[in-house]
Amino acid sequence: MALNRPSPVGRWTQHAWRLTALPLILLFSIPILMLFGRSSLQAIWENLGHETVIQAMLVSLGTTLTSLGLILLLGTPLAYLMGRHQFRYKRALDTLIDLPTVLPPSVAGLALLITLGRRGLIGGWLTELGIEIAFSTTAVVIAQTFIAAPFYVRAATLGFASVDGEIEQAAQLDGASRWQIFRFVILPLSRLALLSGAMMSWARALGEFGATMIFAGNFPGRTQTMPTAIYLGFERDFDSALTLSVILVVICFLSLLLIKVMVAYEADSA
Amino acid sequence: MKLKVLLRLILMMELLAAGCAPQPTAPTQFPAATAALPTPPPMNTSAPVEAIDLNVFAAASLTNAFEEIGQHFEAQHPGVTVVFNFAGSQQLAQQINEGAPADVFASANRTQMEIVIKAGGVVSDTQKTFVRNRLVVVFPQDNQAKLTTLQDLTKPGLKLVFAAKEVPVGQYSFDLLDKAIADPAFGATYKDDVLKNVVSYEDNVKAVLTKVALGEADAGIVYTSDVSGADAGKVGQLDIPDALNVIASYPIAPIQTSKQAELAQAFVDWVLSPDGQALLAKHNFIPVVK
């Protein structure tokens, strides 16, 4: 008995390794806290009244919500295909879906520009129809969708895949149609994965910057989002940039926390 | 239990790859502008030399010329590697003022140099104008918008790309428009009509050039030095008459806190030397020292 109980010194050294977790925690926390340290509530309140700040927030809100709608609409069938079907070259397709998340956003922006720009393969054709995408709000939405959709698709794929095939078969035996099975069996059972994927996608779209800057450009009220305003504000109007940064940090932190709480709550009740 | 593991897995994977916050303000996102000099290995001389990095913060418009100057400077100073940070001058000024390790600052206008002087980064009066530059209107090679005169920039539906007002070339572009409205050949509404056609305010001059060269914009305003060498073939040019043209003055100075003050001064001197001036002239800059 006595042999198994570590001495106080032994216990200390046993836990000493935990200190090695500290550097990264500090790396994450100190710079983010500095954003708050450098700005006061009063300054934030004043900057919130600036036209550029308001415009950037409105553009960000409008475009990210539109992107999220597109991602849900187009991502769900793709995730269903990936999660519940086997086919040739599935792994290649899976890798393709993951690609935008690891590509530098500037590469994504360049790729979009030379495809959908007015001299691009598809863009040139659209231009003849009178549709010009580059430098428009539509371009912001496309850039965000390109960058953020994989997060939802991946989560939804895993969610759909986790639904037991036997439940589906049981529903089929009871006479449920394909749509009914999806709507009343698979969707409810994977809702948490879909929800957290959607939140992640939205948060990522909100932070999208590099692809937007290249593909959509920068025009206040049209294509200037919060991250691009921060990037340019860094040079001209440091205070406005700080205010927008603080708002983004708070929004991102809260949405991530919300996902985690939801997951924990749901997992406990499952 | 299975669900819990699965959901944790999803979250972990997403958090791994997700970047919630906006991109850090890295020097610049544009490949054209960040094409930093491939750092050659330190020269081997008979005596072992200490490897030193000299950090030069230079306006994006200086990219091509300074990369060449850097190579010459390195050849003459064994062991020294010139590390360039090219970006809009306004960005560089902020970076220096926030404590970025710069040894030399070469700005595309006085305003940004003054900002650094005011913050104590450069000792007043140690800055010297080392080169001048002119503005030019550029358009895509095929000139689909059929631009032939400066007045054509007001054509409705045209897509123009400017640099943002904070960027020196952007400010110079606005100065140009201000000069034009005083000229009866252009008329009082010229500035407003041109600005109506601007679809994007870019963060540095190379981004303007790239978007015009790609044909995404019908025209843009850059420096004559931007259309030198290999870049000259990518775009067509509309000359801006002397009466309207804004002559950009570029100041250069060693940074006060530099640990290599002597080397920093040597770099500044090299840029001002006949060799340095000739090299800048080759890149379509206007030398100040004959």
For residue B187, tell me if it sits in a domain.
Answer: yes
Check A158 against B216: CB less than 8 A apart. no
pLDDT for B252 equals: 96
For residue B76, tell me if it sits in a domain.
Answer: yes
Side-chain-facing half-sphere of B237: CA atoms under 13 Å:
17
Mean pLDDT value across residues B76-104? 91
Residue B226: which domain range?
135-239
For residue B153, tell me if it sits in a domain.
Answer: yes
Answer yes or no: do B160 and B233 share one domain.
yes
Q: Does A154 touch chain B (CB under 8 A)?
A: yes
Model confidence at B19, pLDDT cuts 50, 70, 90, reads very low
Mean pLDDT of chain B: 83
- Could you say which residues from 89 to 128 on chain A have a Cβ atom under 8 Å away from some Cβ of chain B? 101-102, 105-106, 109-110, 113-114, 117-119
Q: Please report the number of interchain residue pairs, chain A to chain B, with beta-carbon separation below 8 angstroms.
A: 145
For residue B235, tell me if it sits in a domain.
Answer: yes
Answer yes or no: do B110 and B143 share one domain.
no
Locate tokens 């849900």: which residue? A72
**ipTM score of the complex?**
0.77
Packed helices A238-269 and A191-207: angle between N→C axes, nearest 10 degrees:
170
Q: How many structural domains comprise chain B?
A: 2
* Cβ atoms of residues B22 and A230 within 8 Å: yes
Nearest to B26 by CA among A33, A227, A231: A231
- Could you say which residues from 215 to 254 on chain A have a Cβ atom under 8 Å away from some Cβ of chain B? 216-219, 223, 226-227, 230-232, 234-236, 238, 245, 248-249, 252
Closest residue in A to B202 (Cα–Cα): A218
pLDDT digit string, tens, across residues B142-188: 898 999 999 999 999 999 999 998 888 999 999 999 999 998 889 89
Answer yes or no: do B139 and B233 share one domain.
yes
Which pTM value belongs to this model? Answer: 0.77
Answer yes or no: do B170 and B209 share one domain.
yes
Q: Which of B8, B14, B23 sits opposite A227 (nearest CB)?
A: B23
What is the rounded distance in angstroms from the CA atom of residue A54 to the CA atom of residue B157? 27
Residue B84 phi, psi (nearest 5): -100, 145
CATH code where residue B119 lies:
3.40.190.10
Mean pLDDT value across residues B256-266? 92
What is the rounded distance in angstroms from the CA atom of residue B264 to the CA atom of residue B241? 37
Answer yes or no: do B178 and B218 share one domain.
yes
Q: Three-state SS for B198?
A: strand
Mean pLDDT value across residues A256-270? 81
pLDDT digit string, tens, across residues A154-208: 999 999 999 988 988 899 898 889 899 999 999 999 998 999 999 999 999 999 9
- Could you say which residues from 163 to 192 on chain B have a Cβ atom under 8 Å away from some Cβ of chain A? 164-166
Answer yes or no: do B73 and B201 share one domain.
no
Check A236 against B202: CB less than 8 A apart. no
For residue B3, tell me if it sits in a domain.
Answer: no
Whether B48 has a pLDDT exceeding 60, the answer reads no
